[in-house]
Structure 1
């Protein structure tokens, strides 16, 4: 699969609520770090865990994925960054969830995936306006 086929296929799998189709984009021994920090190992586990959320907290959700960048790391390994917007219609995660993902791709399959929810600096700084104005690189105790 090409990068664009992976992105399109993942969007289609999510929006269909199809864990097996989602998992088909991963290598058999892939690692997946989800948005809450759990490490899922292996295509079957990734597919099963996604089916659980498709059937519960993300039922009926709609995912959009956009490519941010891709570069060759050597030996056929690609570093792919994407961003996503998830619209969740009901339940504990109702609303919009924005995230960014890092994927390592080889041979048309994802070997590693890290998903990070995007939150505002105000949330991270606990609404400290002075700290929120500074770059995180400038944060000092």
Structure 2
């Protein structure tokens, strides 16, 4: 599959609440780091864990995925960055969440996927205005 086909298939699977279809875009031995930092290894685990959230906290949610960039790395590998907007209609996570993802795609399947929630830098910096105003490279100074 092309990168665009993978993105379309992921979006369609999420919006259908179908964990198997979501995981079908991953290699059998893929690694997936979810938004809370859990490492899910293997297509079967990704399918099961995805179905769990589709049936619970993200029930009825809709996902929009936009490709930010893609570049070939050679050997059939592509580095892909996407941005998402997740709309959750009800429950403890109701509202809208934005995230960015890094995917390593090999021969039409995702072999690695890292999902990172987008948040407010001031909140992350615990409302420290000086820290929030710094660039990430200055955080350790």
Q: What range is the shorter-chain TM-score in?
A: over 0.9
Q: Distance in 2 between matches of 1:71 and 1:12?
A: 23
CA deviations over 1:87-119 (Å, ceiling 9, x no partner): 011111111110000000011100000000011
With structure 2 as the length reference, what TM-score do the two structures score?
0.97
Deviation at 1:27, TM superposition (A): 0.4
Aligned residues: 141
Deviation at 1:140, TM superposition (A): 3.6
Q: Distance in 2 between matches of 1:83 and 1:28?
A: 24
Q: Give 4+ residue runs of structure 1 displaced > 2 Å after superposition.
A: none
Name structure 2 gaps, 5 residues minimum. Answer: none
Is it true that 1:52 corresponds to 2:52 in the alignment? yes
Q: Which position in structure 2 is the counterpart of 1:10? A: 10
Deviation at 1:130, TM superposition (A): 1.8
SS of the residue aligned with 2:92? Answer: coil
1:68-87 alignment, distance < 5 Å: 68-87=68-87
Deviation at 1:129, TM superposition (A): 1.4
Q: Distance in 2 between matches of 1:28 and 1:95?
A: 33
The root-mean-square deviation of aligned C-alpha atoms, in Å, is 0.8
Name structure 1 gaps, 5 residues minimum. Answer: none
Q: Which position in structure 1 is the counterpart of 2:96? A: 96
